[in-house]
């Protein structure tokens, strides 16, 4: 059996002879009187060459490609101009239609939108919006103390409770609320990569106030060693020398020993966590309270949400929606007559 190269070489080297044999074979057919009818049908069909379309160029194709390149050059110029503008902004972002709108992550995985982050404080009894604020900051992390303060001022009560989701979790914000006498309920986000790696998280270490030590999952005491500052936070560091010989070490640390840090205000965070542990229903209450007004207002707004542009105008638009929402709520509580009487009084 000849290999492929033998056949290829034969074909390449004997072209004239092969074509001649082909013609001679037709002559043979004629001699055999196979063409006695003397009638033929003519047609053509395209057969592919070894040359792909990408490796073939025509004048029309070159013209098309040049037009595409010119369009891309223009687009690159436009993007370079935008990039220069964008790099001059504080948050390295520009929105062309509404200059104040910002790209924000939403709760859906991998999803996001360009818009505004509307903060609201909703009363748990009648679901009225007591305070709201339109921001173009994507994260809720810095909003807790300001929103709860606004809510407290609006309600006119010194002591208030505030329940929020884990997106609001910020040690500094929680401490600010607690120091201002606002009782907060919110869960701690589980962001530690240790959990994903199957290792003990900080929640597996129990702080013993009386002895100022942490008890680890192996029952060892992690004692205080020193204090330092990190990102503006004063942190106390705890560890034990028992780690090297610990049977649980592979589930705990890859270092010489496992160290635990304690923020100077950690006790406040522990109080908040203990309060939530005693009242787990608070999170359900949060969902039932604060998510309803947002859902209702968004359904009124339709698919595009805000119609106006810029933070100031969007703030006005939102205030109108909140006013309408609260009026409808009060009408359903007091009736139109009751509301009119209250307005007149």
Q: Which is nearer to ligand SF4, 88 or 254 (CB)?
A: 254
Query: For residues 75 and 212, which CB has a smaller minimum distance to ligand SF4 in the complex?
Result: 212
Tokens of 230: 């990190």
The tokens describing 130, both together, are 């007591």
The least distance separating ligand SF4 from the CB of residue 206, rounded to whole angstroms, comes to 12
CA 307 to chain centre: 24
- C-beta of 144 vs 246, nearer to ligand SF4: 246
Distance in Å, CB of 195 to ligand SF4, minimum: 15
Structure tokens at 291: 């998510």
Show the site string, 70-109: x = touches ligand SF4 by CB under 6 A, - = not: ----------------------------------------
Report which DSSP code applies to 218.
T
Among 194, 242, 311, 331, binds ligand SF4 (CB under 6 A): 242
Residue 218 or 276: the one with the smaller Cβ distance to ligand SF4 is: 218
DSSP E strands in 253-333: the ranges are: 260-263
Binding status of residue 134 toward ligand SF4 by CB under 6 A: no
Give, rounded to a whole angstrom, the gap between the first and last alpha carbons of the chain: 108
The residue among 120 and 240 lying less far from ligand SF4, judged by its C-beta, is: 240
Query: Which residue spans within 186-334 are E strands per DSSP?
Result: 206-208, 213-215, 221-230, 233-239, 260-263
Q: How far is the CB of 228 from ligand SF4 (least distance, A)?
A: 20
- Give 99 or 201: the residue with its C-beta nearer to ligand SF4: 201
Whose tokens are 């009487």? That residue is 341
Report whether 256 contacts 243 (CB < 8 A). yes
Q: How far apart are CA 151 and CA 132, in angstroms?
A: 8
Asked if 137 is part of the footprint of ligand SF4 (rule: CB under 6 A), the reply reads no
The C-alpha atoms of residue 292 and residue 181 are separated, in whole angstroms, by 27
The least distance separating ligand SF4 from the CB of residue 259, rounded to whole angstroms, comes to: 9
- Which two three-digit tokens encode residue 66? 């040049």
The nearest distance, CB 231 to ligand SF4, in angstroms, is 24
213 binds ligand SF4 (CB under 6 A): no
Q: Rule CB under 6 A: say whether 195 interacts with ligand SF4.
A: no
What is the phi/psi pair of residue 14, to 5°? Answer: -125, 35
Q: Which is nearer to ligand SF4, 249 or 305 (CB)?
A: 249
Measuring CA to CA, how many Å separate 59 from each of 65, 69, 71, 202? Answer: 10, 15, 19, 69
Q: Given the complex with ligand SF4, which of 112 and 255 has the nearer CB atom? A: 255
Residue from 138, 167, 171, 217 in contact with ligand SF4 (CB under 6 A)? 217
User: Of residues 244-283, which lie at the interface with ligand SF4 (CB under 6 A)?
Assistant: 246, 248-249, 252-253, 258
Q: How far is it, in rounded angstroms, from Cα 345 to Cα 342?
A: 5
From the CB of 237, what's the least distance to ligand SF4, in Å?
13
For residues 15 and 248, give the distance between their C-alpha atoms in angstroms, rounded to a whole number.
Answer: 79
Q: CB of 96 within 8 A of CB of 289?
A: no
Would you tell me which residues interact with ligand SF4 (CB under 6 A)? 216-218, 220, 240, 242-243, 246, 248-249, 252-253, 258
């Amino acid at each position: 059996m000849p290999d492929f190269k033998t056949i290829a070489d034969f074909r390449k080297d004997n072209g004239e002879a092969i074509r001649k044999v082909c013609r001679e074979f037709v002559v043979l057919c004629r001699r055999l009187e196979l063409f006695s009818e003397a009638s033929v049908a003519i047609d053509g069909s395209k057969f592919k060459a070894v040359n792909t379309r990408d490796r073939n160029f025509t004048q029309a194709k070159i013209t098309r490609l040049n037009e595409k390149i010119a369009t891309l050059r223009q687009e690159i110029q436009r993007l370079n101009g935008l990039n220069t503008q964008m790099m001059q902004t504080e948050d390295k972002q520009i929105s062309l239609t509404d200059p104040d709108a910002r790209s924000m992550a939403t709760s859906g995985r991998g999803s996001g939108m360009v818009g505004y982050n509307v903060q609201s404080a909703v009363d748990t009894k009648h679901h009225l919006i007591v305070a709201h604020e339109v921001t173009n900051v994507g994260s809720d992390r810095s909003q807790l103390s300001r929103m709860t303060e606004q809510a407290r001022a609006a309600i006119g009560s010194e002591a208030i409770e505030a329940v929020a989701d884990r997106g609001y979790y910020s040690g500094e914000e929680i401490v600010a609320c607690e120091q201002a006498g606002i009782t907060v309920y919110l869960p701690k986000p589980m962001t530690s990569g240790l959990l994903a790696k199957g290792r003990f998280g900080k929640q597996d270490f129990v702080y013993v106030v009386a002895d100022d030590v942490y008890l680890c999952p192996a029952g060892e005491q992690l004692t205080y060693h020193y204090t330092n500052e990190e990102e503006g936070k004063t942190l106390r560091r705890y560890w034990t020398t028992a780690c090297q010989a610990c049977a649980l070490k592979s589930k705990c640390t890859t270092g010489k020993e496992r160290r635990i840090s304690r923020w100077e205000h950690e006790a406040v965070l522990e109080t908040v966590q203990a309060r939530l542990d005693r009242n787990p229903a608070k999170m359900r209450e949060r969902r039932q309270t604060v998510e309803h007004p947002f859902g209702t207002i968004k359904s009124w707004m339709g698919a595009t949400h805000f119609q106006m542009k810029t933070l100031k105008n969007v703030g006005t638009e939102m205030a109108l929606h909140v006013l309408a929402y609260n009026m409808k709520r009060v009408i359903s509580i007091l009736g139109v007559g009751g509301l009119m009487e209250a307005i007149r009084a």
